[in-house]
């Protein structure tokens, strides 16, 4: 392939925040390779992404290398396999020992299955970790991350060099204490909170199944990759794993293969003290194909046979239960909790070296092991080059499908997509923002090829159905409505996997706002791992009425405003709802939460899509010279109340400015001069109104302002009565304004 040719896979980048002291200031400026006919964009370290070049091959080399890449290592000397497995073990042991922190037990026990996956089974290109058609690997038991780092190092990923292994868990390290996709190219998703990873893997497998159903043709299987995951006893205990695996079985995700590290040890000791269920029987009942490898320590052929069997099952995901010994090779700590979460100690490291016949210095990779693994660089490049050529042919035959797939892979949004968003006039009918949200969802689905999502058994109440599409099911995987059932936590984590599969997949998921309590763990991982999931949260306040305090969110707005890298929107009407969706679609590295009303709200004069992008803006103002007597601030359903209160105060001769603070995070990003134009420091008479906790409003109100809100639990009654009883009224705002003036 000529060096001047720009391939589809070259347009794929990884999010890479230079966090925790990692140096990026000296990174050279690069050119952003994109598709033919598109303008090139300068690329620097400020883009927070990696660009990895592809390799050129002749057709003869391509054929030989691609063929070699899919061969198993039946001919590989058994002694070399054993040496390779022990290399993985001791890279983990040495890194944990040097850091004096970490989890050596899992890598020592799982090294055989890790070796077989990365060296014999998976297809990937270590010099372009973001090649689209690669197999995905998820370490759900993220505490054992040195297993994955050792494998990435041996496979030739530039992200994990020997010096990186020596800086494991240290400030600025590219290999942190749990896998982080934004730190380490080659890591697909961020894991650590147990159970999240297997749920992410379900999302990755769902994405592959969906894209394959939409884009593969009888003469061109352009989407074809597997998702592999290793999970442990802790993952199995967490409820989220059952939620996600139940869905995986229901959906028949045949290209999802999970390895259950059955080592019977958790932090507190043997799992007999708390976990005695028959996991295999449970997974069979969930609709999975189940295989048991009884000797995961040295049974290499058993592991190989299990993978072969799993791949032969096309209509079910497969769980391979692999019975291992945690800390395998450690004479005194193997098969005990003491090897789970702490370094072995110098004496035990030496004893383990002697026990496994490992004469090498720390971090040493024997020459024959290094040579053996080095082939993955050329073979991986050949696989990618072969796929690029295949896609080029596909593009000639199916230009429309290729354009959509290209958009999904690169994240480049179709030209003019935002024009599809509806706009509203003050005379437009009043409506609940959940209904206005549905109008926006359906408008976006028509123009964004990667837009899909669903609800946790509340689609008819959240108003999230895409009317032009059917349901994603086992026999209709090309459809875009996802039915998650009552599984909020699993839903959020599955959507994280979808979002992290391809830059242009834009998943949304929905439930009542109060039930974010069930999925907060997944939402936090969205924010941490830069997964741009859109969370559609309806029934956003005491305004939902009769269902009462169990369903009425109070502290939820404040809690998400406190979470880093997440946008909390509370739109007041149709234009603000459309504006929130516009930002949410654009912010692919930041998840968004839209808190939407059950009750009808008027279309307000002065609201705008563009205003939402600034987070806070002036809705109405009868003052001059940026010197209003009073500033009233509101969000969502209470912005209408602020507007009514302003009208009353103006009748009394006051100059009043009404400000919508629809997204605090976006407002905080604005330059100081803009914020001064909205909330001038000289005006201290300020009142806020929001049907939620008043926590946090002080930074906008100052010491002399007053916040009207709800700082206790709600009540069961019609919404109008609840608002009156809690003092969420225009009369209360007028009284407060007079008090602070």
The CATH code of the domain that includes 716 is 3.40.50.920
**Residue at 6 is within a domain:** no
CA–CA separation, 672 and 454 (whole Å): 39
Among 662, 490, 492, smallest CA distance to 561 is for 662
- Which tokens go with 119? 């060296």
Say whether both 586 and 631 belong to one domain.
Answer: no
Predicted local confidence at residue 58, as pLDDT? 44
Say whether both 579 and 653 belong to one domain.
Answer: no
CA–CA separation, 316 and 221 (whole Å): 20
Is 71 an active-site residue?
A: no
Burial 132-153 (b: 16+ CB within 10 A, else e): bbbbbbbbbbbbbbbbbbbbbb
- Which tokens go with 695? 């926590």
**Residue at 354 is within a domain:** yes
Say whether both 591 and 620 belong to one domain.
Answer: no
Burial 415-452 (b: 16+ CB within 10 A, else e): eebbebbbebeeeeeebbbbbbbbbbbbbbbebbbbbb
Predicted local confidence at residue 37, as pLDDT? 26
Is 692 labelled a binding residue? no
Is 317 labelled a binding residue? no
Is 242 labelled a binding residue? no
Which residue in the list 180, 384, 488, 530 is annotated as catalytic?
Answer: 488
CA–CA separation, 660 and 606 (whole Å): 10
Residue 54 has pLDDT above 60, yes or no: no
Residue 482 has pLDDT above 70, yes or no: yes
Is 657 labelled a binding residue? no
CA–CA separation, 471 and 466 (whole Å): 9
CA–CA separation, 276 and 266 (whole Å): 13
- Which tokens go with 42? 């300068």
Predicted local confidence at residue 339, as pLDDT? 97
Is 225 labelled a binding residue? no
Is 158 labelled a binding residue? no
Is 250 labelled a binding residue? no
Torsion of CA 222, 224, 227, 228, to 10 degrees: -140
Beta carbons of 636 and 690 less than 8 angstroms apart:
yes
Burial 291-303 (b: 16+ CB within 10 A, else e): bebeebbebbebb
Among 588, 288, 275, smallest CA distance to 413 is for 588
CA–CA separation, 282 and 260 (whole Å): 13
Say whether both 145 and 253 belong to one domain.
Answer: yes
pLDDT band (50, 70, 90) for residue 49: very low
pLDDT band (50, 70, 90) for residue 502: very high
Structural domains in the chain (count):
3
H or E stretch including 592? strand 592-595
Is 115 labelled a binding residue? no
CA–CA separation, 350 and 342 (whole Å): 16
H or E stretch including 50? strand 49-50
pLDDT band (50, 70, 90) for residue 59: very low
Among 296, 258, 300, 261, smallest CA distance to 138 is for 258
Say whether both 162 and 275 belong to one domain.
Answer: yes
What is the arithmetic mean of pLDDT over 28-54? 30
Residue 39 has pLDDT above 80, yes or no: no
Last residue of one domain, picked from the residues 356, 380, 404: 380
Is 264 labelled a binding residue? no
Say whether both 421 and 476 belong to one domain.
Answer: yes
Say whether both 492 and 630 belong to one domain.
Answer: no
Is 215 labelled a binding residue? no
Residue 582 has pLDDT above 60, yes or no: yes
What is the arithmetic mean of pLDDT over 576-583? 98
**Residue at 8 is within a domain:** no
Beta carbons of 227 and 262 less than 8 angstroms apart:
no
Q: How far apart are the first and last CA of the chain?
A: 72
Is 716 labelled a binding residue? no
Is 297 labelled a binding residue? no
Beta carbons of 183 and 192 less than 8 angstroms apart:
no
Angle formed at CA 571 by CA 567 and CA 572, multiple of 5 degrees = 160
**Residue at 12 is within a domain:** no
What is the arithmetic mean of pLDDT over 190-205? 98
Say whether both 373 and 440 belong to one domain.
Answer: no
Is 422 labelled a binding residue? no
Angle formed at CA 152 by CA 147 and CA 157, multiple of 5 degrees = 165
Predicted local confidence at residue 76, as pLDDT? 59
CA–CA separation, 584 and 587 (whole Å): 5
**Residue at 26 is within a domain:** no
The contacts of residue 245 (CB under 8 Å, 6+ apart) are: 198, 202, 258, 283, 286, 288, 317, 319
Say whether both 227 and 167 belong to one domain.
Answer: yes
- Which tokens go with 29? 């400026």
How many helices (H) does the chain have, and how many strands (E)? 26, 24
Beta carbons of 500 and 527 less than 8 angstroms apart:
no
Residue 27 has pLDDT above 70, yes or no: no
Say whether both 321 and 259 belong to one domain.
Answer: yes
CA–CA separation, 617 and 474 (whole Å): 46
Question: Residue 695's domain spans which residues?
Answer: 616-740
Q: What are phi and psi of 569, to 5 degrees?
A: -105, 140
Q: Among the residues of 398-463, which ranges form H helices?
A: 399-410, 433-447, 459-462
478 or 5, higher pLDDT: 478
H or E stretch including 31? strand 30-32
The contacts of residue 703 (CB under 8 Å, 6+ apart) are: none
Residue 657 has pLDDT above 70, yes or no: yes
For the whole model, what pTM was predicted?
0.92
List the single range of 24-33, 107-116, 358-367, 697-706 with lowest mean pLDDT.
24-33
Residue 361 has pLDDT above 90, yes or no: yes
Beta carbons of 512 and 483 less than 8 angstroms apart:
no
Angle formed at CA 617 by CA 530 and CA 567, multiple of 5 degrees = 15
CATH label of the domain that carries residue 161: 3.40.50.970
CA–CA separation, 506 and 531 (whole Å): 9
**Residue at 160 is within a domain:** yes
H or E stretch including 293? strand 289-293
Is 135 labelled a binding residue? no
Last residue of one domain, picked from the residues 380, 396, 429: 380
Beta strand segments in 448-591, E:
451-455, 481-483, 506-512, 534-538, 567-569
Per DSSP, the residues of 9-27 read GGG--EE----TT---TTP
**Residue at 191 is within a domain:** yes
Is 32 labelled a binding residue? no
- How distant, in Å, are the alpha carbons of 183, 391, 408, 448 from that of 10? 20, 13, 14, 22
The mean of the pLDDT values for the chain is 91
**Residue at 590 is within a domain:** yes
Say whether both 370 and 432 belong to one domain.
Answer: no
Say whether both 176 and 299 belong to one domain.
Answer: yes
3-state secondary structure of 736: helix
Predicted local confidence at residue 11, as pLDDT? 41
Residue entry with tokens 């299990």: 306
């Amino acid at each position: 392939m000529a060096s001047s040719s720009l391939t589809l896979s070259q347009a794929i980048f990884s999010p890479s925040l230079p966090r925790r002291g990692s140096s990026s200031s000296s990174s050279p400026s690069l050119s952003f390779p994109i598709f033919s006919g598109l303008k090139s964009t300068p690329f620097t370290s400020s883009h927070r992404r990696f660009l990895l070049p592809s390799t050129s091959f002749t057709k003869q080399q391509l054929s030989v290398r691609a063929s070699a890449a899919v061969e198993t290592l039946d001919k590989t000397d058994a002694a070399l396999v054993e040496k390779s497995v022990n290399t993985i073990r001791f890279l983990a042991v040495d890194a944990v020992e040097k850091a004096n922190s970490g989890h050596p037990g899992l890598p020592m026990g799982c090294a055989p299955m890790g070796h077989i996956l990365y060296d014999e089974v998976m297809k990937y290109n270590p010099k372009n970790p973001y090649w689209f058609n690669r197999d995905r690997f998820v370490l759900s038991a993220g505490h054992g991350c040195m297993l994955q780092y050792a494998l990435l190092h041996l496979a030739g990923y530039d992200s994990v060099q020997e010096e990186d292994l020596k800086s494991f868990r240290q400030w600025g390290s590219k290999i942190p204490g749990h896998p982080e996709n934004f730190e380490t190219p080659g890591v697909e998703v961020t894991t650590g909170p147990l159970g999240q990873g297997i749920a992410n893997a379900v999302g990755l497998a769902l994405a592959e199944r969906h894209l394959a159903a939409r884009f593969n043709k009888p003469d061109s299987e352009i989407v074809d990759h597997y998702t592999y995951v290793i999970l442990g006893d802790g993952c199995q205990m967490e409820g989220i794993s059952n939620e996600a695996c139940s869905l995986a079985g229901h959906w028949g995700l045949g290209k999802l293969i999970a390895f259950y590290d059955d080592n019977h040890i958790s932090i507190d000791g043997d799992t007999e003290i708390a976990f005695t269920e028959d996991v295999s029987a449970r997974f069979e009942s969930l609709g999975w194909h189940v295989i048991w490898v009884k000797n995961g320590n040295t049974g290499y052929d058993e592991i190989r046979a299990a993978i072969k069997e799993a791949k032969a099952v096309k209509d079910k995901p497969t769980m391979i239960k692999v019975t291992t010994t945690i800390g395998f090779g450690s004479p005194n700590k193997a098969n005990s909790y003491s090897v789970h979460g702490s370094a072995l100690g110098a004496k035990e490291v030496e004893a383990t070296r002697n026990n496994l016949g490992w004469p090498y210095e720390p971090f040493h990779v024997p020459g024959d092991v290094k040579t053996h693994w080095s082939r993955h660089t050329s073979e991986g490049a050949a696989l990618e080059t072969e796929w690029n050529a295949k896609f080029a042919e596909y593009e000639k035959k199916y230009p429309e499908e290729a354009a959509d797939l290209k958009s999904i892979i690169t994240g480049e949004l179709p030209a003019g997509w935002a024009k599809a968003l509806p706009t509203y006039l003050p005379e437009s009918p009043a409506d609940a923002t959940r209904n206005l949200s549905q109008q926006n969802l359906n408008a976006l689905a028509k123009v964004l090829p990667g837009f899909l999502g669903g609800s946790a058994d509340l689609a008819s109440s959240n108003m999230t159905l895409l009317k032009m599409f059917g349901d994603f099911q086992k026999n209709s995987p090309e459809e875009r409505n996802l039915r998650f059932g009552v599984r909020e936590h699993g839903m959020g984590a599955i959507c994280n996997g979808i979002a992290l599969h391809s830059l242009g997949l834009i998943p949304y998921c929905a439930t009542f706002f109060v039930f974010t309590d069930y999925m907060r763990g997944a939402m936090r991982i969205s924010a941490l791992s830069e997964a741009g999931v859109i969370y559609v949260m309806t029934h956003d306040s005491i305004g939902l009425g009769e269902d009462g305090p169990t369903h009425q969110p109070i502290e939820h707005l404040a809690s998400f405003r406190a979470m880093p890298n997440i946008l909390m929107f509370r739109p007041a009407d149709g234009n603000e709802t459309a504006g929130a969706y516009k930002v949410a679609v654009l912010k692919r590295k930041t998840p968004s939460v839209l808190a939407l009303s059950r009750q009808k709200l008027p279309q307000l004069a002065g609201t705008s899509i563009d205003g939402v992008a600034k987070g806070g803006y002036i809705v109405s103002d009868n003052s001059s010279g940026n010197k209003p007597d009073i500033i009233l601030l509101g969000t969502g359903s209470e912005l209408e109340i602020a507007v009514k209160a302003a009208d009353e105060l103006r009748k009394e001769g006051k100059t009043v400015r009404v400000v919508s603070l629809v997204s605090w995070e976006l407002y905080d990003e604005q330059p100081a001069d803009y914020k001064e134009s909205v909330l001038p420091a000289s005006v201290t008479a300020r009142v806020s109104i929001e049907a939620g906790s008043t926590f946090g409003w002080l930074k906008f109100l100052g010491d002399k302002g007053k916040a009207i809100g709800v700082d206790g639990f709600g009540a069961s009654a019609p919404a109008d009565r609840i608002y009156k009883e809690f003092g969420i009224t225009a009369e209360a705002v007028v009284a407060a304004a007079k008090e602070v003036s």
